[in-house]
């Protein structure tokens, strides 16, 4: 049971940071975007832009629901493999995962810097809607 909760945590914490982080604000603090996980979850929208109009209903379904579910499923499966690694490798991989969660920038910075060319999930979702 502990392993399942661990795997669910590894699968869904990046989703919170990649998709929902701009929703959470604390008083006068700016909206933040996690660049790494925002890119991972936004890459589905980016690929879809080559094949279909982003405002079509199938594209919206894929970009906002199916792609994030696929990424979370892959993270869930990957975390199961991660549990079988030896301890030093496991520590390094967890360090990289935690570091990726800390790479947050204010949302206004992404529109005024070269990050505006990176397909971040919240920015693409804002453009579609």
CA-to-CA separations, 23 to 16, 30, 83, in angstroms, rounded: 10, 10, 32
Q: Which of 15, 8, 5 is nearest to 71 (CA)?
A: 15
d(CA 28, CA 99): 25
What are the tens digits of pLDDT across the range 37-87? 989 998 888 888 888 887 788 888 888 889 999 999 999 999 888 888 888
Least confident of 34-38, 64-68, 107-111: 107-111
Complete DSSP assignment for 18-49: IIIGGG---TTPPPEEEHHHHHHHHHHHHHHT
pLDDT score recorded for residue 108: 80
Number of H helices and E strands in the chain, helices first, is 7, 2
For the chain, the structural domain boundaries read 2-128
Percent of all residues in the chain with a pLDDT value above 90, rounded to a whole number: 17
Distance CA 83, CA 87 (A): 9
Position with higher pLDDT, 126 vs 59: 59
Strand partners, 104: 34
- Measured distance CA(54)–CA(64) in Å, rounded: 11
C-alpha to C-alpha distance for 12 and 40, rounded to whole angstroms: 13
Give residue for tokens 């199916």: 66
């Amino acid at each position: 049971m502990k392993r399942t909760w661990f795997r669910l945590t590894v699968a869904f914490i990046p989703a919170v940071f990649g998709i929902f982080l701009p929703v959470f604000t604390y008083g006068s603090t700016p909206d933040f975007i996690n660049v790494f996980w925002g890119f991972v979850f936004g890459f589905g929208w980016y690929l879809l832009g080559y094949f279909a109009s982003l405002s079509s209903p199938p594209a919206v379904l894929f970009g906002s629901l199916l792609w994030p579910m696929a990424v979370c499923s892959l993270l869930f499966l990957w975390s199961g493999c991660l549990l079988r690694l030896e301890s030093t490798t496991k520590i390094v991989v967890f360090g990289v995962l935690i570091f990726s969660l800390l790479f947050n920038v204010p949302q206004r910075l992404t529109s005024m810097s070269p990050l505006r060319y990176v397909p971040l999930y919240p920015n693409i979702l804002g453009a579609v809607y």
